[in-house]
Amino acid sequence: MPASLDRPPGLCGDFARNTSAVVGLLALLLGLSILVLPLSPLYPACNSQQILGSALTTPAAAGAAAPAAAPATAWLGAPSRAIPPNVTVMVFGGSTTFGRGVSDPANKWVESFRRAFERLTGSNVTLVNRGRGATTADYFASCFSRYLNGQPTPTVFLLEFAINGGNVTRLVESMLRSSDAPVVLVRQMACYPAIRYSSATDLDARVSWPEQREEQRTAAYVYRLHEFDFVSHVVPRYGSPCSADSLPKLFQVHEAPGQHLGDLGQRLLGEFVASELVRNWDEVFDPARRAATPHPPAFKETCFYADEVGSACAGEGAACSIENAFAPDGEGWSFVAKAGRKDKVCWQADRPGVRLTTVDPVEFFEATIYAEFTDRNPSTMELFCGNQLLKEIHLKHGMRGSMVKAAALHAACSGQKLTVVSKDAAPDQLLRVCGISMFS
Ligand SMILES: *[C@@H]1O[C@H](CO)[C@@H](O)[C@H](O)[C@H]1NC(C)=O
Ligand SMILES: *[C@@H]1O[C@H](CO)[C@@H](O)[C@H](O)[C@H]1NC(C)=O
Ligand SMILES: *[C@@H]1O[C@H](CO)[C@@H](O)[C@H](O)[C@H]1NC(C)=O
């Protein structure tokens, strides 16, 4: 673990380490610079101090304070905050949350968040990080309660889908149905839309960037959630994070430059989220707030899924095994384990035109299919309700050929069997159906 991460959050980390002899002068200059200097020459030194300083009374006080002098919790203000001694934080998000972009797993923003939160509050944080690359909110929205099985009861959920998008509103609804824990959204950033690093051959994968941010904002609006906006926090202080000067400091540049926050960016994000969560704790946990939250629609969810937690099939929203839910209608489909991963089992087609049909009739007005493909040319599947074609689903590549794993099916099927027909599968272009969630 880099030494800078052990410092109190108010210190300037890597930058302070080399400037301890002039730290007092720097603090003074920083205070002055807030008033009179362009910020870029100092950027991003003392960035975290600024961020945490926002919870203090004034920016000037934050700039001039000697961070080590004050106890870590001094800035919390009123001692009435009821932050429990043990806090379980469950995080859902994309690749940045998984930890892409950092040079060491200890530098992931969620780990930086945990350390900062523990420092600020004296509480113990149990972190459950479900970040997963190339996933949208739809991936987690379905069969949601399986994420809670066998885990400590979450105190709070953090969602980070401002880049990957998906129907965040539906994910929030799934969470509200399954848990009393409040949901907080984390708005982080990338410098470019996924278009820049998407597969050149898959135009569908070139989804727009503002659209995905809006998907997260919409959830905040509908369910009146806090959204901790790292972007508008950083920009006014330091100018564009994506300028030629800032991008290499905040973002990882070895691969897909500007797409994943790097060591510094993730640390600042984690510290920012920790400070915001503490600062807003009373409001986030205000029972009146939850009481005023609109009730999510009481959908029934039927889930067949076997990707992550085996084939347990008990309890509301639990995933039943997809193995028994479908049966091949003729040749061409088989139930396979992924090489090296016994827990990853899917129905797999290796030729075009073959059919996989549910054993029982189904009931849904909306469904999500989990699919995979093993080739650089994604397969296509057709979904039929009885004999009626519901939708042709083109599986997509995400950034750099990664797979987009969930496909939403906005179509109804009632009292008939659902059939998946592989359209263009081949031995070197396999199609895998790994799960289905149906809302009725
Ligand atoms: C945090 O955990 C440690 C060890 O697990 C324990 O000794 C300590 O009392 C805990 N702190 C609180 C506030 O419960
Ligand atoms: C918090 O968790 C620690 C172990 O991680 C335990 O020792 C302690 O008793 C817990 N505190 C409370 C108040 O539950
Ligand atoms: C997202 O999900 C919500 C809740 O299920 C639904 O009302 C809304 O229409 C969905 N949005 C889109 C764009 O599919």
Q: What does the pLDDT look like over 9-39, one tens digit per residue?
A: 332 333 333 333 333 333 433 333 333 333 3
Establish whether residue 153 lines the binding site of ligand 2, counting it when its CB lies within 6 angstroms of any ligand atom: no
Residue with tokens 């998906």: 166
Distance 377 CA to ligand 3 centre (A): 29
Establish whether residue 167 lines the binding site of ligand 3, counting it when its CB lies within 6 angstroms of any ligand atom: yes
> In angstroms, rounded to a whole number, what is the distance separating the alpha carbons of residues 150 and 103?
30
Q: Cβ < 6 Å from ligand 1: which residues?
A: 85-86, 123-124
Distance 86 CA to ligand 1 centre (A): 8
For the CA of 123, the nearest atom of ligand 1: 13
- If one compares 51 and 384, the residue with the highest pLDDT of the two is 384
| Residue type (1 letter), 120 | L
Per-residue pLDDT of 50-62, as tens digits, reads: 334 333 223 333 3
The answer to whether residue 420 scores a pLDDT higher than 90 is: yes
Establish whether residue 169 lines the binding site of ligand 3, counting it when its CB lies within 6 angstroms of any ligand atom: yes
Distance 381 CA to ligand 2 centre (A): 50
Establish whether residue 107 lines the binding site of ligand 3, counting it when its CB lies within 6 angstroms of any ligand atom: no
Q: How much is the pTM? A: 0.79
Judged by its nearest atom, the ligand closest to the C-alpha of residue 118 is 1
Confidence of residue 299 (pLDDT cuts 50, 70, 90): confident
Distance 124 CA to ligand 1 centre (A): 6
For the CA of 215, the nearest atom of ligand 3: 13
pLDDT of residue 343: 56
For the CA of 299, the nearest atom of ligand 3: 5
Residue pair 7/66 in contact (Cβ under 8 Å)? The answer is no
Domains and CATH numbers, the chain: 1-70 (no CATH), 77-292 (3.40.50.1110), 301-439 (2.60.120.260)
User: How many of the other CB atoms lie within 10 Å of CB of 90?
Assistant: 24
Judged by its nearest atom, the ligand closest to the C-alpha of residue 123 is 1
pLDDT of residue 45: 33
Per-residue pLDDT of 136-178, as tens digits, reads: 898 898 888 888 888 899 999 999 998 888 899 999 999 998 8
Confidence of residue 256 (pLDDT cuts 50, 70, 90): confident
How much is the average pLDDT of 287-300?
A: 86
Which amino acid residue places its CA nearest to atom 6 of ligand 1? 124
Residue with tokens 């050149």: 200
Distance 373 CA to ligand 2 centre (A): 44
- If one compares 257 and 385, the residue with the highest pLDDT of the two is 385
